[in-house]
């Protein structure tokens, strides 16, 4: 295994507790008519009940195009995912850097 693949594997392992915590979103999406795809190593979910909830608004955040949890990005629609992909990949990279403490760091940064 080359060094780049090993580093990527370690990033997935480092973020895996968060990704696994939100993995049930895949089932929610599939059961509600949503779509689940894999794009550049990130699970992308859109449409269905989750897409409608994002469009209606999240507590504390209001309506959002997409949000990232670990290596999962949930978006309103495929078009919203495509439009926000670069921005959401920044959050994926932040999860890869900070691991499970990233939600706390993000929250504190938002309050500050």
Whole-angstrom Cα distance, residue 90 to residue 66? 13
Tell the residue number behind the tokens 């919203």, with chain if given: 80
- C-alpha 70/C-alpha 67 separation (Å) is 10
- Give backbone dihedrals phi and psi of 23, rounded to 5 degrees, phi first: -60, -30
What pTM was computed for the model? 0.91
pLDDT digits (tens, 9 = 90+) for 29-74: 999 999 999 999 999 999 999 999 999 988 878 889 999 999 999 9
Q: Contact 24/33 with Cβ under 8 angstroms?
A: no
Backbone φ/ψ region at 48: left (φ over 0), alpha (ψ -120 to 50), beta: left
Residue 61's pLDDT is 80
């Amino acid at each position: 295994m080359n060094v780049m693949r090993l580093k990527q594997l370690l990033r997935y392992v480092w973020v895996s507790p968060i990704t696994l915590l939100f993995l049930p979103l895949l089932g929610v999406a599939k059961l509600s008519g949503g779509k689940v795809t894999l794009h550049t190593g990130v699970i992308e979910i859109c449409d269905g009940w989750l897409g409608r909830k994002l469009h209606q608004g999240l507590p504390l955040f209001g309506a959002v195009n997409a949000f990232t949890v670990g290596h999962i990005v949930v978006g309103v629609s495929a078009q919203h995912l495509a439009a926000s992909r670069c921005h959401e990949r920044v959050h994926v990279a932040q999860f890869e850097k900070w691991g499970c403490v990233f939600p706390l760091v993000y929250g504190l940064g938002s309050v500050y």
